C-alpha cells in the first residue's frame, strides 16, 4: 500500500466533521488534486477561505466528536482522570489539528489551572480567516471537554484571542465569562479537578489505545523525518550522556523492542550500529573541542571501562585517543 495512503488513513481525523458540517448546509465538497495535502487539510483550508463569519467557526467546532479522533479518542475516554487526559492531549496535539502549535497546562493562583492552546495560522489567511480558525479550535476543544467530562465540568473562564469581537456572542455560545486578549486559547478550571475520575476509565484499554496511538504518531513522524533511523539519531543527539538501551529508546518511541529491531532491519541497520555511530561522532567532537580527560569522555559515552572506549576509538579512526588529539594541536 502507498505510504501516503496509509498516512492519510491514519491521520485524516477531521474529514467526517467537516463533511457533516457542509452536508447540513447543502454545500458540495469540491474535488481535490491528488498531490494536495491530506483531504481534511485541503477541505478545511477551503472552508476557511470562503470567508464565513466567526460565529460559523464556533458552529463548525460543535461537529467534532470524540469518536472522530480514532485511537486517541479511545485513549481519552478510557483515561483514569483529567490529569491523564491532558497528558495525552499535550503529547498528541498534532494528531488533533495540525494547526495547533502547542498545548500546555499551567498552574495559577487561587487553586486554578489553565489549559493554553497556541495556534498556528496559514500565511495567506486574513484577519477574518484567523478569527474563524481560532473559533473552530476553541469550540471543538470545549465540545471535547464536555463529551469526556460532562456538561457539569466547572470551567471557570475562557480566553479566546479574537480582538474586537462581540463578547456577547461568545458568552452566549459557551455560557462562560470570556476574555479577548493575548495570543492563546485558555480554559481555566479548579486545580483539584485534575484528579477527577472518569466514569469510562478502563486502564487496560487505555494502555492498548496509547500503544496504537503511539504507533500512528511514529508513522507520521517517520514520513516527515525520513525514517526510524533518523528519528533515533536525533533522539540520541539530544541526550547529554549515557546512551540508553534499546528497551529505553523503544519506550520513548512508543514502540516495542521487537518492532524497532524489525523496522531498523528493513532500513539496513541495527540499533547497535546507530549508537556506535553516535558515540564516534560525539567522541571526536569532545576530543577536538575540549580538554575533558579521556576517562571522563568514556563515562559520558556510556562505556563501563575506559579500555573499551580506547579500543572502539582505534577501530573507528585507526588512531589512539592521544594520537588523534595531538594531531590537531
For residue 148, the model assigns a pLDDT of: 93
In-domain check, residue 211: no
Tell me which residue of 148, 195, 153, 198 sits closest to 174, measured CA to CA.
153
pLDDT score of 105: 86
The answer to whether residue 8 sits within a structural domain is yes
Which pTM does this prediction carry?
0.65
- 201 in any annotated domain: no
| pLDDT at residue 141, as a whole number | 94
Residues 45 and 107 in one domain: yes
What's the CATH number where 163 sits?
3.90.1520
pLDDT digits (tens, 9 = 90+) for 146-155: 999 999 999 9
Q: Are residues 34 and 120 both part of a single domain?
A: yes
pLDDT tops 50 at residue 280:
yes
**Mean predicted confidence (pLDDT) in 322-327:** 88
User: Which of 154-158, 254-258, 315-319 is least confident?
Assistant: 254-258
Indicate whether 163 and 93 sit together in one domain.
yes
- Asked if residue 116 is part of any domain, the answer here is yes
Among candidate residues 7, 62, 38, the one with its CA nearest the CA of residue 221: 7
Of residues 112 and 6, more confidence is placed in 112
Given a contact cutoff of 8 angstroms between Cβ atoms, the answer to whether 183 and 118 are in contact is yes
Do residues 242 and 189 both lie within one domain? no
Given 175, 195, 215, the domain boundary residue is: 195
Query: Within this chain, do residues 63 and 153 fall inside the same structural domain, yes or no?
Result: yes
315 and 168 both lie in a single domain = no
In this structure, are 239 and 143 located in the same domain?
A: no
CB of 128 closer than 8 Å to CB of 55: no
Same domain, 133 and 26: yes
What CATH number should be reported for the domain holding residue 289?
A: 1.10.10.60
Count of CA atoms in the C-beta half-sphere (13 A) of 129: 15
- pLDDT value at residue 290: 74
Residue 159 has pLDDT above 50, yes or no: yes
Scanning the structure block, which residue is given the C-alpha cell 466547572? 154
Q: What pairing do the DSSP bridges indicate for beta strands 178-179 and 157-159?
A: parallel
Structural domain contains residue 15: yes
Lowest mean pLDDT among 53-67, 77-91, 220-234, 263-277: 220-234
| Residue 205 located in a structural domain | no
> In the beta sheet, which residues pair with residue 117?
103, 185
Same domain flag for 191 and 237 = no
State whether 260 and 173 are in the same domain.
Answer: no
Higher pLDDT residue, 57 or 223? 57
pLDDT tens string 59-117: 999 999 998 888 888 989 998 889 888 888 877 775 555 678 888 888 887 788 999 99
Instruction: Indicate whether 221 pLDDT > 90.
Output: no
**Does 238 reside within a domain?**
yes
pLDDT of residue 14: 83
Q: Give the ranges where the chain is alpha helix by DSSP (H).
A: 3-11, 15-24, 39-49, 54-61, 70-78, 82-91, 93-96, 127-149, 167-174, 203-225, 228-237, 246-252, 257-266, 271-289, 294-300, 306-317, 321-326
3-state SS, residue 126? coil
What are 272's three cell numbers? 547497535
Residues 179 and 269 in one domain: no
pLDDT: is 223 or 297 the higher one? 297
* Final residue belonging to a domain, choices 195, 210, 241: 195
Shared domain check, 246 and 128: no
Domain range enclosing 313: 226-326
- Percent of the chain topping pLDDT 90: 44
More confident: 208 or 246: 246
Per-residue confidence band for 262, with pLDDT thresholds at 50, 70 and 90: very high
pLDDT at 9: 43
Q: How confident is the model at residue 2 (pLDDT cuts 50, 70, 90)?
A: very low
* Total number of domains constituting the chain: 2
Cα–Cα distance, 177 to 164 (Å, whole number): 16
- Give the percent of the chain with pLDDT over 70: 88
pLDDT tens across 15-59, in order?
899 999 999 999 998 886 444 456 788 889 899 988 888 999 999
Range among 5-9, 134-138, 218-222, 241-245 rated most confident: 134-138
Domain assignment present for residue 218? The answer is: no
Amino acid at each position: 500500500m502507498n505510504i501516503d495512503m496509509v498516512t492519510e488513513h491514519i491521520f485524516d481525523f477531521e474529514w467526517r466533521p467537516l463533511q457533516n458540517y457542509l452536508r447540513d448546509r447543502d454545500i458540495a465538497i469540491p474535488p481535490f488534486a491528488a498531490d494536495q495535502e491530506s483531504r481534511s487539510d485541503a477541505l478545511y483550508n477551503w472552508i476557511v477561505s470562503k470567508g464565513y463569519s466567526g460565529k460559523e467557526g464556533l458552529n463548525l467546532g460543535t461537529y467534532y466528536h470524540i469518536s472522530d479522533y480514532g485511537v486517541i479518542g479511545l485513549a481519552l475516554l478510557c483515561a483514569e482522570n483529567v490529569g491523564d487526559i491532558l497528558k495525552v492531549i499535550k503529547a498528541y496535539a498534532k494528531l488533533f489539528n495540525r494547526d495547533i502549535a502547542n498545548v500546555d497546562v499551567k498552574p495559577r493562583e487561587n487553586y486554578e489551572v489553565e489549559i493554553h492552546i497556541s495556534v498556528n495560522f496559514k500565511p495567506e489567511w486574513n484577519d477574518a480567516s484567523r478569527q474563524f480558525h481560532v473559533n473552530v479550535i476553541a469550540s471543538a476543544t470545549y465540545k471535547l471537554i464536555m463529551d469526556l467530562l460532562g456538561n457539569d465540568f466547572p470551567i471557570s473562564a475562557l480566553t479566546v484571542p479574537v480582538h474586537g469581537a462581540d463578547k456577547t456572542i461568545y458568552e452566549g455560545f459557551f455560557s462562560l465569562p470570556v476574555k479577548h486578549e493575548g495570543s492563546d486559547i485558555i480554559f481555566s478550571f479548579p486545580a483539584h479537578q485534575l484528579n477527577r475520575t472518569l466514569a469510562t476509565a478502563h486502564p487496560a484499554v487505555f494502555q492498548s489505545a496509547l500503544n496504537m496511538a503511539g504507533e500512528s504518531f511514529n508513522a507520521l513522524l517517520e514520513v516527515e523525518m525520513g525514517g526510524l533511523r533518523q528519528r533515533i539519531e536525533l533522539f540520541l543527539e539530544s541526550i547529554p550522556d549515557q546512551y540508553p538501551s534499546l528497551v529505553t529508546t523503544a519506550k520513548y518511541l512508543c514502540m516495542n523492542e521487537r518492532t524497532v529491531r524489525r523496522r531498523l532491519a528493513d532500513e539496513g541497520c541495527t540499533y547497535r550500529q546507530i549508537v556506535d555511530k553516535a558515540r564516534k561522532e560525539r567522541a571526536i567532537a569532545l576530543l577536538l573541542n575540549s580538554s575533558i580527560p579521556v576517562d571522563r569522555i568514556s563515562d559520558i559515552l556510556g562505556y563501563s571501562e575506559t579500555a573499551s572506549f580506547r579500543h572502539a576509538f582505534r577501530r573507528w579512526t585507526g588512531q589512539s585517543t592521544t594520537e588523534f588529539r595531538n594531531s590537531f594541536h
